[in-house]
Amino acid sequence: MWAIDYAAEIAKILPAQLPARLVELAERVTDAPVGLYVVDIEGLRIVSLAGPAGFPAEIDIRSGIGPEVGALGLAEIAAEVERAMPGSVVAPMWVRCRATAVLVANQDPDGVLAGFAEAVAPSFELAAGYTDIVDRARRVRRTSAAAEVQQDLLAPRLAPVMGGQVAGSLLPAYDVGGDWFDHADNPEGAWLSVADAMGKGPRAAAVSVLALAALRGARRSGDSLEDCCQAVHDVVEDLGGGSATFLTAVVATWDAPSATLSWVCCGHPAPLLVTAAGQIEHLEGHRTHPLGLTLDGPRTFARNQRSLAPGDRVVFYSDGITERRTAGGRFGTEGLAAALRSAADQSAAAAIIAVERAVLSASADPISDDATQLILCVD
């Protein structure tokens, strides 16, 4: 009943005041000190947003996917919090299948913290769109202008779709800014896209903004896969700049009832299929040149199709992953395949985490080009 009792009170709290008030309410419910932590945009730590001065300011983790965690990330957070604060209780603030924040109490004798966290999570996520206080905590250093645009472009990192699950990530979090991934689960199927704008910095970010807006606008108007590609091509071409302004992309749809993946590849690395048995296959198919370039008359887009089976994983990625420098040369599709095989399980989230760790550990040098991936795992 406490969730109902507090609902009206939470609705009246101004967004900038919500973190502190949620902690107060949680302490009233548990009769114990409580801290509110958010996941930083790199997924490498949880950072205190509100709570007692004696609680850690931040706690290192490794299983965040950007500022979100799934079941694997939550298990790691619980273990790291226990190491830092023995006997503490962690309650994720779930919104659908992922959490961007957790409540931590040094005790919860009545076991009510989890229910409280779940009840207030939607209000907290909604409030984050009305204040900078949450995003300030998620950023442990200043982002470049391009990277800030990039962060605002991205769809949720973890999401269920009909007949499967998707997970996406983009490294680095604080700089560069030409890549993006996108997804949407619609009645006609799930839309999946990964793109890479030519160049870096503000120019690449501007191309990405308009390209993604064109894709979403066409998709929301009910356009076909091919027509969506045409819409992106048109807006990038209209920017001018000739051969210096273009965007590579894979735009795809997943139809669960027919178990069919359809995609158009525009100058981008071909998707990688990892079967439930662990076999690796490049989904090459028909290809065309990047969007924004008109080299041989009016643009046409050829659709590719492939049937998928339960347990299959399709990986859409940018060349920032395969071109990552290593001591022996470059990461390559061999490194990508090896990382996918090493995943803790066959979930999309586990695959994303495995690839991120492999890319980051491949070299001590900073990532110089966006390393982007979007993974569909078939149920």
Give the tens place of pLDDT for each residue, 289-313.
999 998 877 889 999 999 999 999 9
% helix / strand / coil in the chain, to the nearest 5?
35, 30, 35
d(Cα 360, Cα 35) in Å, to the nearest integer? 30
Shared domain for 225 and 89, answered yes or no, is no
183/319 same-domain check: yes
Residue ranges making up the domain that contains 109:
2-138
pTM for the full predicted model: 0.94
Query: Do 181 and 327 lie in a common domain?
Result: yes
Taking only the tens place, the pLDDT of each residue in 243-291 is 778 999 999 999 999 999 999 999 999 999 999 988 999 999 999 999 9
pLDDT value for 201: 83
13: exposed, middle or buried (Cβ count in 10 Å: 0-12, 13-18, 19+): middle
Q: Residues 311, 346: contact at Cβ < 8 Å?
A: yes
HEC secondary structure over 267-303: CCCCCEEECCCCCEEECCCCEECCECCCCCCCCCCCC
How many domains are contained in the chain?
2
Contact 65, 4 (CB under 8 A): no
Contact 268, 247 (CB under 8 A): no
Q: What is the pLDDT of residue 2?
A: 53
Shared domain check, 354 and 208: yes
76 plus 197 within the same structural domain: no
Q: Are residues 82 and 185 in the same domain?
A: no
In DSSP notation, 62-78 reads S--BTTBB-HHHHHHHH
Q: What value does the mean pLDDT take over residues 172-182? A: 90
Say which residue the tokens 């931590």 belong to.
Answer: 104
Q: Which residue among 113, 138, 163 closes a domain?
A: 138
The single residue listed with the structure tokens 């109902």 is: 4
Higher pLDDT, 48 or 296: 48
CATH (domain of 202): 3.60.40.10
Examine the fold and report which residue of 115, 138, 161 is the final residue of a domain before the chain moves on.
Answer: 138
The single residue listed with the structure tokens 């200043």 is 142
Give yes or no: residues 160 and 124 share one domain.
no
**Residue 69: pLDDT over 50:** yes
pLDDT at 271: 97
Among candidate residues 138, 173, 191, the one where a domain is terminated: 138
129 and 149 assigned to the same domain: no
User: 3-state class of 110 per DSSP?
Assistant: coil
In a shared domain, residues 289 and 190: yes
Please check the confidence at residue 224 and state whether its pLDDT lies above 50.
yes
Measured distance CA(25)–CA(30) in Å, rounded? 9
Long-range contacts of 335-341 (CB under 8 A, 24+ apart): 335/359, 335/362, 336/272, 337/272, 337/274, 337/280, 340/272, 340/274, 340/280, 340/313, 340/315, 341/274, 341/278
Residue 322 DSSP SS3? helix
State the Cα–Cα distance between residues 80 and 85, nearest whole angstrom.
8
154-174 confidence digits (pLDDT tens)? 999 999 999 999 999 999 989
Structure confidence at residue 335 (pLDDT): 94
Handedness of CA 40, 342, 337, 309 (dihedral sign): negative
Q: Are residues 166 and 117 in the same domain?
A: no
The answer on 314 and 354 residing in a single domain is yes
Under DSSP, is residue 48 helix (H, G, I), strand (E, B) or coil?
A: strand
* Preceding peptide of 172 cis, ω within 30°: yes
Residues 181 and 307 both lie in one domain:
yes
Structure tokens at 328: 């022996």
